[in-house]
Amino acid sequence: MAEKVGVYVCHCGSNIAGKVDVEDVAKWAGENVKDVAVSRDYKFMCSSLGQKLVEDDIKEHGLTRVVVAACSPHLHEKTFRRACSNAGLNPYLMEMTNIREHCSWVHKDRAAATEKARALVSASIERVKFQEPLEPMFVDVNRATLVIGGGIAGLQATLELADAGYPVYLVERQPSIGGHMAQFDKTFPTLDCSACILTPKMSEVGQHENVTLLTYAELEEVSGSVGSFKVKIRQKARHVVFDDCTGCGICVEKCPRKVLDTEFEAGMGNRKAIYMPFPQAVPRVPVIDTESCIWFERQKCRACEKLCPTNAIDFDQQDELIDIEVGNIIMATGWEPFDTRKIPQYGYGRLANVYTSLEFERLCNAAGPTNGKIVLRDGKTEPKSVAIVHCVGSRDERHNPYCSGVCCMAALKLGHLVVEKTDAEVYSFYIDMRTNQKNYEEFYQRLLGEGMRFVRGKVAEVTDAARKPSEQGKLIVQCEDTLVGRQQRYPVDMVILMGAIEPQRDAREMGLKCGISCSMDGWYTERHPKLDPVATMTDGIFVAGTCQGPKDIPASVAQGAAAAARVSGMITKGKVMIEPIVAKIDEEGCSGCRICNNMCPYNAIEYDAEAQVSRVITALCKGCGTCVSACPAGVISGAHFSDRQIFAQIQGALWDAWQPQDAASQDAETVPVSAP
């Protein structure tokens, strides 16, 4: 029996209708394409009236297939599947054709775009006729959640879920949780002490009965899918037995090897070879840095082992792989600072008194290496003038084209700290002052009142080459004061570079492990930039904080909480729907060659040794189709992507090249299908 196809072409306001003659496409399909029973165009198909149109037609005309030509299926496939369900049609008998992103938005010529839209619609009509009704599957959602990254976003997500009564695994790469926020002195715009507001959250996480804290650990591997992920975590060897250590700190005190702390202290202070990153570290269990430990270098010393009151030191400890099972994963992997050496004209690393903003944070932190005294690299001279340089590696096509968003406010904060703690004159060199959150502009006003000087111009260079006596022994900041329109030179004692916020260097690799993608810049891509900012294209994987894009502390906290709320919702629901788009093996034809077993990227095919056939574990199958094309006997088929459907789609797309003599053979049974 011939199918009855309904075709619905959306205007999307002027988004599609502006470039595609949608009325023509609908009319053409209705008059020219075989088996089309109804063909309409509508201003907004996704509106409730548009959906009703589809529903009513299904009931009235007894449609057996539906094609919606509109936007990307990412946006509205669910909407129209639901509409079909409501009218009693199996939702998998609906096909969406993307004539917006794939057509109207990318073409200029209206006639050609209309022609292409016809081809796309025709392709979908031919395809949909061969689609089969499918039933969605449901799996239980594991109540445990994995949070990757123990910065402020990850901590917030962890606490929200743990407080709601759900188990959380928090994995942190560093020996302590806390992230970058633990390094800062004050937070803008309220100037409350960063540690004072962060450490209570850290210890709460450390002591929470629902939290399993895995610090000094990294994500190794993720398998499975939403609801039931299987995760391997590598617990790096601390060389301190976690359960035996009391955190007394004698080992750290007695360790004879001092090294520069390039992580927590940003190179401004030292630590020991056995260390906790900072006094409020959670957990209070040190790690041995095997690269600087004397024992690992030349088998001498063992001072820590001798003095440890609980014999917790274990030089032979090895990395350990921990397997856990979770229902959802929240990525909160954070950011890292731009390497300011990449802009040599700013002199970082060459001119002693040029600092990165993180170095300066440690310098003015009361718990930092100078106890909060702002002094030059000589360790004693207080600067009389300080220049703060904005946009170092941000808003720059040579480095990062994006605005890092937080540096303007951070620069104002640092400026305030200099004004508060010294008599120095402070200059801020900015391109545009961006203070667009609650109470931020007020903070800018405050700094204007405090006498901070603002020069509108991107710094051209920082040099120590004096041109006149007043510049002798100074760092000279050269730039154009664009509001005056003249080139100016400002001799100062100290320069602070506000480096860009960059994605973690291994963000892409980590994303691949979880099956989520990054933007060109390296930030994780959210499901929808406006309406779904913490979900990703992979169900069950959420993102929070700066790994999704530069943002400040309030925004990171908000995202952490938002991601936790989404996960909570999944757990409360208890079951999650899985697309029935999976592979199926015809056991009659399977020779048991097992080629598909190893090809499957999701380990979703198992071999039944007794029956000597391979079987697909449907809960794990993602419907990628690798096995379908690999099977030498051609007995694996992919639901919703069968050869017959794809060939019909190609034929449909080539409708205008279709010869009449071929048309006779366009019958369903004789479509050129490779599989028997």
> Can residue 476 be called a binding residue for other proteins (CB under 8 A)?
no
Residues in contact with other proteins, shown as a per-residue x/- string from 417 to 456 under the rule CB under 8 A: --------------xx-----------------------x
Q: What is the DSSP letter of 104?
A: I
Among 207, 262, 482, 603, binds other proteins (CB under 8 A): 482
Sign of CA dihedral 89, 71, 138, 143: negative
Separation of alpha carbons 190 and 92, rounded Å: 54
* Element spanning 335, H or E: strand 335-337
* Binding segment toward other proteins, per CB under 8 A, in 134-142, 296-304, 305-313, 395-403: 395-403
> Which residues, in sequence order, are bridge partners of residue 578?
137
Q: Is the Cβ–Cβ distance between 407 and 498 less than 8 Å?
A: yes
By C-beta, is 431 or 599 nearer to other proteins? 431
Among 88, 379, 469, 485, binds other proteins (CB under 8 A): 485
How many residues bind to other proteins according to rule CB under 8 A?
22
> Can residue 248 be called a binding residue for other proteins (CB under 8 A)?
no
By C-beta, is 322 or 403 nearer to other proteins? 403
SS3 336: strand
> Can residue 471 be called a binding residue for other proteins (CB under 8 A)?
no
* Binding segment toward other proteins, per CB under 8 A, in 91-99, 284-292, 355-363, 458-466: 458-466
> Can residue 460 be called a binding residue for other proteins (CB under 8 A)?
yes
> Can residue 479 be called a binding residue for other proteins (CB under 8 A)?
yes
In which residue are the tokens 């946009």 written? 391
> Can residue 254 be called a binding residue for other proteins (CB under 8 A)?
no
CB of 456 to other proteins, least distance (A): 8
Among 342, 458, 584, 640, binds other proteins (CB under 8 A): 458
CB of 343 to other proteins, least distance (A): 9
Structure token digits, residue 418:
């200099």
Closest to 137 (Cα-Cα) out of 231, 225, 230: 225
3-state helix/strand/coil string of 12-50 = CCCCCCCCCCHHHHHHHHHHHCCCEEEEEEECCCCCHHH
By C-beta, is 365 or 400 nearer to other proteins? 400
Among 339, 480, 506, 586, binds other proteins (CB under 8 A): 480
CB of 485 to other proteins, least distance (A): 5
The identity of residue 393, as a single letter, is: G
By C-beta, is 467 or 575 nearer to other proteins? 467
Structure token digits, residue 2:
């011939």
DSSP of 170-230: EEESSSSS-GGGGG-SEETTTTEEHHHHHHHHHHHHHH-TTEEEEESEEEEEEEEETTEEE
Long-range CB contact pairs, 528-537, < 8 A, 24+: 528/75, 533/559, 533/562, 534/559, 534/562, 534/563, 534/566, 535/566, 537/74
> Can residue 345 be called a binding residue for other proteins (CB under 8 A)?
yes
Among 24, 204, 305, 396, binds other proteins (CB under 8 A): 396
> Can residue 487 be called a binding residue for other proteins (CB under 8 A)?
yes
Among 12, 391, 557, 621, binds other proteins (CB under 8 A): 391
CB of 232 to other proteins, least distance (A): 42
Separation of alpha carbons 598 and 620, rounded Å: 14
Residue ranges that bind other proteins, judged by CB under 8 A:
345, 391, 395-398, 431-432, 456-461, 478-482, 485-487
